[in-house]
A and B are shown apart, each in its own frame.
Chain A
């Protein structure tokens, strides 16, 4: 609590709270700490600039320039958030914009993750947009906007702000899902995502309303303070609010049983966008989930951890077993992304600091594996983005050894093989679960990993062992020319591969990063 007082002191409130105000107070806007919200401003500003320029320029701009611009903008936001990280470590977390945002280690952690994902997605989308002849400026602007929404969610200290962030993220994603105008599947994905997404937003909003009814505030810190100061005689309202919040956010992170949209949407969306959904949307959803339940409802953790544990169990089972029967690589990866949400939940249900930092680490590691995976899917998808069957991967090991090798590493990382970031991720969530003595769930999670490994092996088998030469020839479109491997994809896959292996060999830095991020949650 001492640190809370310190935080309050730092947040330089415009009005002294002890003073009883006059009956009519003139509206005083909050002071704005520009430096603290700079990453969000950079992302939004970049997106707007991109849109305006694209609208004003008479001819379609060159995609390369736009990609470069996006990378620079996201890179600037990333650099700035690293600077913020140092400030926070020295001076502590801060609440800004009238306590609406909490700029702390947790927020910065996700900002770094999201900006990194934007950079990689933009690189992968570069060639995709040329190949499919789609407008580049719009997609890149949406990437930046969705990223800004994610950052807002991660730093939200108020349920309303959380909702705003979620909508900024989601609406951008709905458009991105339907971005491939000439593919029916893409349109279908957008509609499905939109209808179900809007539905889940309604759940979230209703949850916010009930929570407000139970506690009299939407501010996370004030909710926590209210709940610790008062014992609720009947907490049905609060429980219902928490449950609805869990449903709304559970939808975003694709936790079972709210996962039904995932396979269709992942399959139909343009491949680079799918990678972005799996990394950024999932990370932002979990940022919101962790922030709300840990900061605001931390004192009720005995009530929500079993619920999270049940969700985790179901999610792991669905992710592992429903994926086995799939033959479409995008669908396989969609189900596996459901499974991965289960592992993050395993970390979260521990309800401890180690559990949260394990969840953060998992999200970070997973983001880069899945981005790399979908980059390969984008390449193999070829013109038209519809070569996603397992048979389309036959012979990739021979025709594109590096791509196949990188995909193998990403898949092995997803299955949790040591010396990749995936092992460290699994290790940290499982260790949190074991530490919290949830042995059954830990064993279940490891067995689900074995089932999931079978899927990843199926893809590897297809790449290296599958198909005789005739099949390879058909897959390559009647001739044996290897698939295109443009510069952007080379760079992006190289970076993702580098991160996956580096974290696997020298995990110390990421472990400390995620632990510090957990300890630096401004409220908690």
Chain B
């Protein structure tokens, strides 16, 4: 108990100002309740409230970005209040370079997905679930307490379940149930692992706490135990990522979900898994993460190639994009478990990139579906003639997803490959070939649906309207900006990533290797240049 009080006091000092991060989680939650309470006839009010809520949350996230100190490695804007004091559980939120951009990405994608949504039925309920989902996802990225993290991690399931089940297509109930049960069985083990961690930590140190920073700093577990616990946590993240062979829920859920649901699923929800691996895999169990690194890298590379090959075989455009996610997430895992500054940074950057480009791809597929009522590639063709603006935007987004230099996807993939090359040489070679496969399936899909002479309904398909262009424009802007000038993003990540890499390598006993490594920590200013040069070689 005395330690509890002490912790509360010290954090009270840090928490003098406005509890920004708490507000970031509470705002969408409050608006969700308001939206749920609006009478069902007032769709316009619900819509306006929803947009207001998500945009205001984005505003708060920008303020967080402004207040974020670039050179700091530790957690910032921390707020800690006792929640269940008997068990050492507290409301503990904070942000560092690792979670910063994921929070901004989340707050950025939600208003766009609401704007891009074309739901007509039960708009109020739909909006309320979306807002609840936003609160839960932000909670996952911001919480620094194991219990709090688990609460948000699980709560995410409920709104997503209803979004897929109520507003989805075709096999929606099957997809929603599969999604729910898959993810829940993953977290079942995590809960047991989490409790074991907490009690073993208490056995070693005498302090009962769920505080991530405290437990990570103490590193009180025996090597063997830590490895088991890493697996218990890792399984639930692997389902969420999803890592091959636990990915089978993803194509179903992504394909049957409504457009807004797919955007959020791909853009944000998959990152819960990769973020979990960084924050609760590497940070909590550094030695185990290093130990299982080759295993994770193998699964990642299988995911990259398998996802790409299966994506190439798809007849359904949305399913193709869904499988491309499996491949992209493989890159992120590969970079993460290389445990080098470039690898982890590349993984983080790739999380943001994937959110932006795959989110945009899902929006575009949704817009096509809305016009043509089909997602089958064979039914499409020649859309470029009928809808040139859409084709242009689709091209840019697709190229970003392939990893064309000058667009955002390239920077992330390049960093991942550079970072993982020293740790996993042959795996990296395999992964690089995945980039080519990505070009194959995306270009081929583009060719079949946009090129050629349009026939039948395809010839009369309407081009994008202003609302749709307005939804896509910010995404396009980011795709180009982050491709050309990623420095502001990387600068804010670097101190935290460096610290994490040192933490992991220090505990795994491989710190020396890092110092001797030929590739020095890059000055991020050179990144875009170096990236472009390397791109020429490829």
Contact = CB atoms under 8 A, between A and B. Distances in A.
Interface of A: 401, 412, 417-419, 423, 427, 430-431, 434-435, 439, 442-443, 446-447, 449-450, 453-454, 457, 461, 464-465, 507-508, 511-512, 515
B427 interface: no
A408 B198 CA distance: 31
Given A443-B189, A446-B191, A512-B86, A418 B184 contact: no
A430 B173 contact: no
Given A412-B158, A417-B154, A461 B177 contact: yes
A511 B191 CA distance: 19
A515 B86 CA distance: 9
B162 interface: yes
A509 B154 CA distance: 23
Given A434-B192, A443-B192, A453-B180, A418 B154 contact: yes
Given A457-B177, A464-B166, A515-B86, A446 B195 contact: no
Contact of B87 (A450, A454, A461, A511): A511
A454 B192 contact: no
Contact of B86 (A430, A464, A508): A508
Given A418-B152, A439-B196, A465-B172, 15 more contacts: A417-B157, A418-B155, A423-B151, A423-B154, A431-B198, A434-B195, A443-B192, A446-B189, A447-B188, A450-B181, A454-B181, A461-B177, A465-B173, A508-B85, A512-B86
A435 B195 contact: yes
21 contacts: A401-B40, A417-B157, A418-B151, A418-B155, A430-B192, A431-B195, A434-B199, A435-B195, A439-B196, A442-B192, A443-B189, A446-B191, A450-B184, A450-B185, A450-B188, A457-B180, A461-B165, A464-B162, A464-B165, A511-B84, A515-B86
Contacts of A442: 192, 195
B173 A508 contact: no
A435 B154 CA distance: 22
Given A417-B154, A457-B177, A461-B173, A430 B184 contact: no
A457 B155 CA distance: 15
Interface in B186-232: 188-189, 191-192, 195-196, 198-199
Nearest to A416: B154
B2 to A, nearest CB: 18
B481 interface: no
B165 A419 contact: no
Most chain A CB within 10 A, of B157, B195, B196, is at B195
Given A419-B155, A461-B165, A449 B196 contact: no
Contacts of B147: 427
Contacts of B75: none
A465 B188 contact: no
A515 B192 CA distance: 21
Contacts of A454: 177, 181
Contacts of A447: 185, 188
B188 A446 contact: yes
A439 B110 CA distance: 39
B288 to A, nearest CB: 17
Contacts of B188: 443, 446-447, 449-450
A98 B40 CA distance: 63
Contacts of A461: 165, 173, 177
B83 interface: yes
Contacts of B369: none
A519 B84 CA distance: 18
B86 A511 contact: yes
B68 interface: no
B424 interface: no
B150 interface: yes
Contacts of A453: 180-181, 184
A12 to B, nearest CB: 34
Contacts of B191: 427, 430, 446
Nearest to B125: A401
Contacts of B166: 464-465
A401 B192 CA distance: 35
Contacts of B151: 418-419, 423
Nearest to A401: B40
A343 to B, nearest CB: 13
A330 B172 CA distance: 26
B189 A508 contact: no
Contacts of B83: 507-508
Contacts of A511: 84, 86-87
A418 B177 contact: no
A515 B189 CA distance: 26
B123 to A, nearest CB: 14
Most chain B CB within 10 A, of A401, A450, A507, is at A450
Nearest to B150: A418
Interface string B55-88: 0000000000000000000000000000111110
Nearest to A466: B173
A463 to B, nearest CB: 11
A515 B152 CA distance: 25
Contacts of A417: 154-155, 157-158
A512 B86 CA distance: 7
A508 B84 contact: yes
Nearest to B147: A427
Contacts of A431: 87, 195, 198-199
Interface in B139-165: 147, 150-152, 154-155, 157-158, 161-162, 165
Q: What are the 7 tightest A-B residue pairs by CB atom distance, in nearest-first order?
A: A446-B188, A418-B151, A434-B195, A450-B185, A442-B192, A418-B154, A431-B195
A439 B192 contact: yes
Contacts of A457: 161, 177, 180-181
A431 B146 CA distance: 13
Given A435-B199, A453-B181, A461-B177, A446 B86 contact: no
Contacts of B165: 461, 464-465
Contacts of B152: 418
Contacts of B172: 465
Contacts of B155: 417-419
A281 to B, nearest CB: 29
Contacts of B189: 443, 446
Nearest to B168: A465
Contacts of B158: 412, 417
Nearest to B188: A446
Contacts of B198: 431
A450 B154 CA distance: 12
A512 B1 CA distance: 14
Contacts of A427: 147, 191
A446 B161 CA distance: 20
A313 B214 CA distance: 35
B253 to A, nearest CB: 14
Contacts of B40: 401
A36 to B, nearest CB: 28
Nearest to B172: A465
B196 A434 contact: yes
Contacts of B185: 447, 450
Contacts of A446: 188-189, 191-192
Contacts of B86: 508, 511-512, 515
Nearest to B40: A401
A271 B106 CA distance: 45
A453 B176 CA distance: 13
A412 B132 CA distance: 16
Contacts of B192: 430, 434, 439, 442-443, 446
Contacts of A401: 40
A435 B203 CA distance: 10
B151 to A, nearest CB: 4
A430 B162 CA distance: 28
A524 to B, nearest CB: 19
B180 to A, nearest CB: 6
A423 B152 CA distance: 12
A186 B157 CA distance: 39
B138 to A, nearest CB: 15
